[in-house]
Amino acid sequence: MKRVETAIKEGRCVLAIGTRALAQPGVQAELRRRSVPVVALGSSTVSPAVAISEQALRPATDHPNGIVVLVEPEAADGRGLGVVERAFKSAKHKPRLVIAARMFNPFGLPIGLRLAKLEQEKSRALDFISALPAEGAAAAAPSADNVAPGEGPANRKPAARKKPARRRAPLPVFVGREEELATLHEMLTTDGGPIVVHGSAGVGRRWLVERALQDTELKRIPDITFARGTGYDTLVARLAIAAKALGDNRIHDALTNKSGPPEPSAMAALIMDVVSSDGFDGHALVIHRLHDLQDRRD
C-alpha cells in the first residue's frame, strides 16, 4: 500500500477500476476526493473515470517506476484488460501491476499481464480507495536540518488555520425499505442458505442487499455479476478458489482431475455440499443478474 501511496504523490500511478466497482456510488465519491488518474476498465465511464486507452495509462507507462492498479477487475472487463496488456507491451519501462481485490483469479488476466511484476492488495474497492491519500492532505513537516536560520518555530508567524476538506459529493444514504431490510437481515443472520432478491429494474435490489450485509458480521466472498462471457465456468472457478482458501479442495480437485470435470449435475451436487459445509459458515456470496442465465423463451 505504501508503494502505491508514494506513486500517487509522485504522479506515476493510474487506477483502472472494474465495472462493478465503478458502479458503486461510495467508490465514485471517494475517487473524486483524490488527485489520481482514473480509467474505467468497462465500457461505462462515470466521473472522475475516463475511457481506458494507452494514452490514459501513460502517467504510469512512461515512468521507470510506474504503477497500474487494477481495482476489482472481472471477466466482463476483458476489453479494458486487453488495452492494459498492449500498453504494457509497448511501454519502454514496464510498470508494476497491483491487483486491489479480496480475491481474484490470475488466469482471468491476459497472458501479458500475468508475466508482469504483480502483487495483490487484499481489499475491497471502497476500502482500498478510502485508504489512499486524499486531496489537501497535509505535507510532512521539514526536518531541523533543512530549516534555514531565523526560520525556526519560534520565529514563524502562526500558520493560518486550514479549513477541513469539503467532500465533493455526498456519501450515499439508504432511505426506506425498513420492512424488507429487517426481513433480509433476519434471513442472513438466522436461516442462511440461498436467498433470492427479485424485483423490477431500478427498485434498489443491490442497495438493499448491500445495506443488509453491512449490519452483519458475514465475510464477503467477491461478488459475481453474470453477463456476456460470465456464466457457469466463472461461478464454479470462483467457488473453487473461495473453498480452497477456506481449506476445502474438493471443487478445485474436481476441476483439475485428469479425467476431466464431472457432469454438471454432479458438479452442482458437489458445490451444494461444499457451500453447506462448516467452512462456509459466516460467509456470503452475492450473485448479480442471475436472470441473465435464463433462456429468453422462459
Question: CA–CA separation, 53 vs 88, rounded Å?
Answer: 12
pLDDT at 283 over 60: yes
| Per-residue burial over 116-125, b = 16 or more CB atoms within 10 Å of its CB, e = otherwise | beeeebebbb
C-alpha dihedral (106, 107, 111, 114), degrees to nearest 10 = 20
- The predicted-structure confidence for 108-158, as pLDDT tens digits, reads as follows 788 888 877 788 888 889 999 988 887 644 333 344 444 445 444 445 555
Identify the CA nearest to 15 among candidates 132, 166, 170. Answer: 132
CATH number of the domain residue 85 falls in: 3.40.50
Residue 14 DSSP symbol: E
Domain assignment present for residue 66? The answer is yes
- The predicted-structure confidence for 80-99, as pLDDT tens digits, reads as follows 999 999 999 988 888 899 99
Domain assignment present for residue 175? The answer is no
Domain assignment present for residue 34? The answer is yes
Identify the CA nearest to 78 among candidates 109, 102, 107. Answer: 109
- The predicted-structure confidence for 237-264, as pLDDT tens digits, reads as follows 888 888 888 888 999 999 888 888 888 8
Domain assignment present for residue 55? The answer is yes
Single residue among 130, 158, 191 that ends a domain in this structure: 130
Question: CA–CA separation, 105 vs 255, rounded Å?
Answer: 14
Residues 26 and 126 in one domain: yes
Supply φ then ψ for residue 286, to 5 degrees. Answer: -100, 125
Residues 13 and 116 in one domain: yes
Mean pLDDT of the chain: 79
Domain assignment present for residue 98? The answer is yes
pLDDT at 48 over 70: yes
Q: Is the dihedral of CA 294, 295, 297, 298 positive or negative?
A: negative
Domain tally for the chain?
Answer: 2
- The predicted-structure confidence for 174-186, as pLDDT tens digits, reads as follows 556 788 888 888 8
Domain assignment present for residue 297? The answer is no
Which three cell numbers mark 64?
A: 521507470
The whole-number pLDDT of residue 99 equals 92
Identify the CA nearest to 121 among candidates 107, 96, 103. Answer: 103
The whole-number pLDDT of residue 138 equals 38
Residues 214 and 123 in one domain: no
Supply φ then ψ for residue 94, to 5 degrees. Answer: -70, 120
- The predicted-structure confidence for 210-243, as pLDDT tens digits, reads as follows 888 887 888 887 777 777 666 777 788 888 888 8
The whole-number pLDDT of residue 190 equals 80
Identify the CA nearest to 183 among candidates 165, 201, 196. Answer: 196
Single residue among 130, 146, 169 that ends a domain in this structure: 130
Full residue range of the structural domain in which residue 249 is found: 180-292
Top-confidence residue, 298 or 126: 126
Q: Which residues pair with 38 in a beta bridge?
A: 15
The amino acid sitting at 117 is K
Single residue among 71, 99, 130 that ends a domain in this structure: 130
Question: CA–CA separation, 105 vs 75, rounded Å?
Answer: 10
Residues 204 and 270 in one domain: yes
Q: Where are the beta strands (DSSP E) in 74-135?
A: 96-100, 118-121
CA 4 vs CA 77, 111, 115: distances in Å: 22, 23, 20
pLDDT band of residue 281 (cuts 50, 70, 90) is confident
Domain assignment present for residue 57? The answer is yes
Average pLDDT over residues 1-24: 89
The whole-number pLDDT of residue 276 equals 82
Question: CA–CA separation, 291 vs 197, rounded Å?
Answer: 11
Residues 125 and 193 in one domain: no
Domain assignment present for residue 246? The answer is yes
